Amino acid sequence: MKKTVFKSKFSMLALVAVLSITIAACSVITKPYITNAGNNKIVNLGDSIFALSGGISDYLHSYAGKTFRRYATSGAEFNGGIIEPSVASQYARAKADYRTIDTIFMDGGGNDILIPATMYFDPYNCKVDWWESGLSSTCKSFINDIYVEAVTMLNQMGREGVKNIIFQGYYNIKFGVIGTTALNPAVAYGNTKLASAVQNATLVPYRVFIDPRSSITNSDIIIDGVHPADSGSKKLAGLIWNKLKYLPY
């Protein structure tokens, strides 16, 4: 009996170790930044949805016929976190590299939820298990804090001259090496709050939120359960391009 318990505990620790290593590896795989582009006034910020493969940028560049700057970083949270640069730090660097930024397309907030839920035993209780009726009040409160960070950040961008923000929300994730469908209620609530943040960031003249959940299917997501396959990157780029193409670029 003791041997069985020991094996179970060992297996659990081994699983956690493998999962942590996998997430850490994904977090440091980032396509090189594009700091000097065909149009330096359009900038991409965010996390590994953009940065892991770079596929969304590749499609957008082909549609536009020119490149845009990209600072998205795998593992990035909104402000701070275990991976740097955060989205806030990416924006600061982009401003330092070329001060005039007219348009930003971005995401943010996903890792604020995903990393604690998968690496730190879900301290905010953002996973909804089968026996639970819905998203916990603790997780909702945590996401509400992310909403405040988002409004603050977007309004700062507006004060500093950014005219247009295209904010891409998150699609439902699937079960995989990192992903778990138990986080999809948090995705839904998070998208609602991020959409409100975009709407309430009134210092930015043009702003739009994209909810990709109806477009991205499981086949558009790679084996880790989180990141877009090429088909997913193409769909996400199309959603962004449908907004970006009407702006000066």
**Which tens digits make up the pLDDT trace of 126-173?**
999 988 999 999 999 999 999 999 999 999 999 999 999 999 999 999
In tens, the pLDDT along 26-58 reads: 445 889 999 999 999 999 999 999 999 999 999
Q: What is the CATH number of the domain that holds 191?
A: 3.40.50.1110
The answer to whether residue 178 sits within a structural domain is: yes
Q: Record the pTM.
A: 0.89
Instruction: Provide the residue range defining the domain that includes 197.
Output: 2-244
In a domain, 154, yes or no: yes
Q: Is residue 79 part of a domain?
A: yes
- Classify burial at 39, counting beta carbons within 10 Å of its beta carbon; exposed 0-12, middle 13-18, buried 19 or more: middle
Count: domains in the chain: 1
- Flag whether 249 is in a domain: no
Contact 20, 119 (CB under 8 A): yes
